[in-house]
Amino acid sequence: MRVLVTGGAGFIGSQVVAALAARGHEPVVYDVLADPASDVRSPGAVRGALSGVDAVCHQAAMVGLGVGFADAAEYVSRNDLGTAVLLTAMADAGVRRLVLAGSMVVYGEGRYECPRHAVVRPGPRAVADLTAGRFEPRCPRCGAELSPGLVGEDAPVDPRNVYATTKLAQEHLAAAWARAVDGSAVSLRYHNVYGPGMPRDTPYAGVASFFRSALARGEAPRVYEDGRQRRDFVHVRDVAAANVAALEATARRGALTAYNTGSGEPRTVGEMARALAAAYGGPEPAVTGEYRLGDVRHITADSARLRAELGWRAEVGFVEGMREFARAGMRQGVPG
């Protein structure tokens, strides 16, 4: 299979390219890092890149929370306009298979249970609560403490920052394209991806990159809130394998199918920071009590659908992955 990989020179995309090649496919890299003319917002360049292509693996995106709402227009341009241009070119070229780099951020907060009201969805956390160190969401009906759990793909979506909003819009665009052209679209809703080749020293990255960058500078990783936020840290090679599995699976035409893509091992941010610092041999993490507006408290998802339907499972364990990541090189950070 000849597969166009947008963002194929980036952190995740380069691993997807390697995984495809290892399976005997022909990956084609389309990335501004490799060629400044390879922008998914350029209709002519995209049309040319699609020649002879059987499928597209769309990894190109501006990621992370960035530096604030001032980045909104750039996020929408890179992520949503870029996806619309790509899908239009695919429709014209007769390419009918798409795997999209989705994200768990589309859910907003994860799944919570109240002892009195069962499953509830707390609203966005208030600035006053965050400033006072009250980080845990409360039941919106009775104010009781909540128990976090795993969120499934059928849960309501509730994006809570600009990046999350653009990732959901990408899914809606892909679904509309699939219906219009009878195409096959899969969104892999990545959890917190980490591993060799992460960008360093950039606000456009994940928490694992922030911590590893600090350690490389000889500084203590700075952990926001109280460090008890629950996340699912999934290794980049496992994410690449999920992309290959989705591309090789029997196509489901005319709709978009979403799959949570996580390790299945929920960990706290503080736990990850300590494990990484210990493996690196660097300073102990500093829990700051600071916060970023737009961050959610807990988000861990159930990847059972991906395992059952595509036969994929995470292979790299948390301890093993953090030890490797502590020793691995990083790349110079770029905005997207």
pLDDT-based confidence at 335, cuts 50/70/90? very low
pLDDT-based confidence at 204, cuts 50/70/90? confident
Task: Please list the helix, strand and coil fractions of the chain in percent, rounded to the nearest 5, in that order.
Answer: 35, 20, 40
Q: Angle, to 10 degrees, between the axis of helix 318-327 and the axis of helix 269-280?
A: 50
Q: Is the pLDDT of residue 206 over 70?
A: yes
Q: Is the pLDDT of residue 262 over 80?
A: yes
CA–CA gap between residue 219 and residue 27 (Å, rounded) = 39
User: So which residues are the catalytic ones?
Assistant: 163
Q: pTM surpassing 0.85?
A: yes
Structure confidence by residue, pLDDT tens digits, 147-158: 999 999 999 999
Domain ranges of the chain: 2-110+151-327
- CB–CB of 53/95 below 8 Å? yes
- CB–CB of 204/334 below 8 Å? yes
Range in 52-61, 138-147, 194-203 the model is least confident about:
194-203
pLDDT-based confidence at 333, cuts 50/70/90? low
CA–CA gap between residue 178 and residue 133 (Å, rounded) = 45
Residue 94 has phi, psi (to 5 degrees) of 80, 20
Q: Is the pLDDT of residue 336 over 70?
A: no
pLDDT-based confidence at 288, cuts 50/70/90? very high
Q: Is the pLDDT of residue 24 over 50?
A: yes
Range in 38-52, 62-76, 130-144, 252-266 the model is least confident about:
62-76
CA–CA gap between residue 232 and residue 191 (Å, rounded) = 6
pLDDT-based confidence at 201, cuts 50/70/90? confident
CA–CA gap between residue 245 and residue 35 (Å, rounded) = 28
- The whole-number average pLDDT for the span 148-176 is 96
Decide the pairing of beta strands 222-223 and 266-268.
unpaired
Q: What CATH number should be reported for the domain whose range is 2-110+151-327?
A: 3.40.50.720
The amino acid present at 91, given as its one-letter code, is A
Q: Is the pLDDT of residue 248 over 80?
A: yes
